[in-house]
Amino acid sequence: MVGAEAVIYRDDVWWRNLLTVLVWQLPGIILSLMSIMPAGMWGEANYGFFVLQFWYTPVVPLLSCLSDYAFYGKPVYYYLLLWMPVIFGLCYLLLVFAGRKFSISRAAQ
C-alpha cells in the first residue's frame, strides 16, 4: 500500500514528500527518541520501546529472527527497531524517486 501511495504522489514537490514521511513516521520518531533518552523516574525509555514495538507490529516478527545476534550487549533487532522510522522513510522516498525515474504509473482499475 505504501508503495502504491508513493507512486501516486511521485509528481509532488520534494518537500511534500518529505512532509509525508515526517507525518507518517512521527510517532515512531518520537518513540525512538523516547527510548534512547535517559530514563526518568518512571522509566519512560522502557515504555517508549514497548509502544514502539506495537507501532511497528508488521515487522516485529521479521526482526525477531535476528534475536540470536547481539551488538554491544543488545540484540540487533533492538537497534533495527529504533531505526525503523528512518528505514521506512527512506523506503518511501526511494519508491517516490523510482516512480519518477522509471515513470511507474498506477495500475488500471
Q: What is the pTM of this model?
A: 0.73
pLDDT tens per residue across span 69-88: 888 888 888 888 889 999 98
- When comparing pLDDT for 38 and 42, which is higher? 38
pLDDT tens per residue across span 39-71: 665 667 778 888 888 888 888 888 888 878 888
Q: How many residues are there in the chain?
A: 109
Domain ranges of the chain: 2-101
Closest-CA residue to 60 (of 69, 70, 51): 51
Residue 109 reports pLDDT greater than 60:
no
Residue 56 φ then ψ, to 5°? -110, 35
